[in-house]
Structure 1
Amino acid sequence: MSDFLRHATIANLLRERPFISVNELKSKVGVSAATVRRDIDKLVEAGLGQKVYGGIAAMDGLPARRSVALPFIERRDIAVDAKRAIARVAACLVRDGSSVIVHGGSTCFHFGCEIAQRNLRVFTNSMPVAAYLSEFGTCQLTVGGGDLHREPGIIYDAAQSGHTFYAAQFFVGSLGVSAEGLLESHPLLVRFINDMCNRANEIIVLVDSRKFRERPPTVALPLTRIHRLITDDGLTNADAKMLEDHGVQFTVAALNKGVPA
């Protein structure tokens, strides 16, 4: 495939999706990772995309689009600095000795890493979070029961009822955020989020600023249920106003410092 055809192929993919990883592009266009990275540099120079960790993203300012849920292993390596900054700010909200619920997803995974050594009781259905905490953490860990759903990477039994655990805080991520609320594409996650929300006193949303441009099809939780949202300093003025108009308290994590901006 010629350089021109590869660049056109990547540009067309970006019209449909907000992000494409280097690994996926290798498969799509049939070249090495080094060649893909050079292609990305050319597209960025031409103003057709923006370079992000692990791949290329659509330009800011484009209309929100329907989202494709990437595998966790790819999502974990996207916008890492932003997710770690959000995780550090979120960890400051947790009181030692308390109980928290940690949702699945890549931002919540980084949050789990931040609190691994804390004096806490952590409940999670996330396989990646549970695996990290079991190997590197000292906190008390409780893992939810049920079937393993490899994507989205959670252990959950939708038919289960009568949970006896409750927590001070539920830290939850989302595939997208709009004026309607938290948006998801997987029906199991919608069910899980609503279940966990009924078992915590405070619901804290952890999302990087890219999520405000994405539009999965299903509202998992309305904004009125959210107590606080933490994002990075890529949050636009329009999205900040949207949160304010809906009465959502939010904190912006500065990427370099990991403290509220």
Structure 2
Amino acid sequence: MLVAERRALILAAVIDRGAVRAADLAQELGVSVMTIRRDLDQLEIAGELSKVHGGAISTAHLDSVRGLEPLPSLKAERQPEAKRAIAAAAVEFIEDGMTVAIGAGTTTLELAKLLRGRQVSVVTNSMAIFALLTDPGETILNPAAVQLTGGQRTPSDALVGPLANAALERYRTDLAFLGVHGIDPAAGMTTPNLGEAETNRKLLDTARTTVVLADHTKYAEIGAHLYATFARVDRVVTDAAIRPDHRRALAAVVDLTVAEGMNR
């Protein structure tokens, strides 16, 4: 394959998918990861794409550059079926009578939607989840059973900082469900936002059992700030599109639930 042809295929993949991983491209095109990285370097110089940790994104998706938090409306468009599958698997761990902590994120928002009619109490630092659960038109939960922390608002509609952290220190929950920007067997669970990392740790501290919800695209992504090692997390729930080698790597370091056959 000519270099120009290979780079044209790489660019087509970036435009079609919005984001690509160097390792995936290397496997698809039958070349080394180093060759793909050199191609990405040249395509970035030409202004065709932007390199990020582990791969590249189209210039129309610069909001997802490592270290920047995409807007919730944009994140919600990514992997919607996978997120719903993960939420459906995760809700099976919730029993009536429990108090659960739910962190901010589009996957955790899908989980909150499944609590309609359940006899549970919720503590959250997510403005979107609080609005959903307490909306009179939705009647998902009794508003009195939902508590929102105070704090400073992040681009992902999370409330973080000293006020949120102080509030969470007063709660004890049965389960904590958190989303994640990146999950890596070596690096752990990470986020681009320092305040969100600190508040996520406080959410974990409230709970007897902790669960991280991560769709397959989050694997090997590494944000700037660690919020939990695998020793701190009891379970990870992901979707069936996760690659077999990624699945094995995660299963080696944490109890793993895969929402088999639920994402289409």
TM-score by length of 1: 0.73
Q: Counterpart in 1 of 2:109?
A: 109
CA spacing shift, 1:197–1:51, aligned 2, 3 Å: same
Q: Counterpart in 2 of 1:40?
A: none
Q: Counterpart in 2 of 1:245?
A: 252
How big is the shift at 1:88?
0.6
How big is the shift at 1:220?
1.4
Q: Counterpart in 2 of 1:22?
A: none
How big is the shift at 1:229?
0.6
Tell me if 1:145 matches 2:150: yes
Gaps of 5+ in 2: 1-6, 26-32, 34-53, 56-64
Tell me if 1:220 matches 2:230: no
Aligned CA-pair RMSD: 2.5
CA contact (8 A) 1:126 1:153 kept: yes
Query: 1:116-155 to 2 correspondence within 5 Å?
Result: 116-135=116-135, 136=138, 137-139=140-142, 140-147=145-152, 149-155=153-159
Tell me if 1:254 matches 2:260: yes
Residue aligned with 1:238, SS: helix
Residue aligned with 2:166, SS: coil
Question: Residue deviations 1:231-251, cap 9 Å, x none?
Answer: 0011122222222322x1111
Alignment partners' CA distance in 2, 1:223 and 1:254: 22
CA contact (8 A) 2:240 2:263 kept: no
Query: 1:1-261 to 2 correspondence within 5 Å?
Result: 11=11, 43=12, 48-49=13-14, 51=16, 56-58=18-20, 61-62=24-25, 64-65=54-55, 67=66, 68-135=68-135, 136=138, 137-139=140-142, 140-147=145-152, 149-158=153-162, 160-161=165-166, 163-179=169-185, 180-246=187-253, 248-256=254-262
Alignment partners' CA distance in 1, 2:101 and 2:15: 34
Question: Residue deviations 1:76-102, cap 9 Å, x none?
Answer: 121000000000110111011100000
Question: Residue deviations 1:27-61, cap 9 Å, x none?
Answer: xxxxxxxxxxxxxxxx3xxxx24856xxx332671
Letter of the structure 2 residue corresponding to residue 253 of structure 1: A
**Number of aligned residue pairs:** 211
Letter of the structure 1 residue corresponding to residue 147 of structure 2: T
Letter of the structure 1 residue corresponding to residue 241 of structure 2: G
CA spacing shift, 1:50–1:171, aligned 2, 3 Å: farther
Question: After the TM superposition, which of the residue ranges 159-168 and 59-68 deviates more from structure 2?
Answer: 59-68
CA contact (8 A) 1:158 1:191 kept: no
Letter of the structure 2 residue corresponding to residue 252 of structure 1: V
Gaps of 5+ in 1: 1-6, 12-42
Letter of the structure 1 residue corresponding to residue 19 of structure 2: A
TM-score by length of 2: 0.73
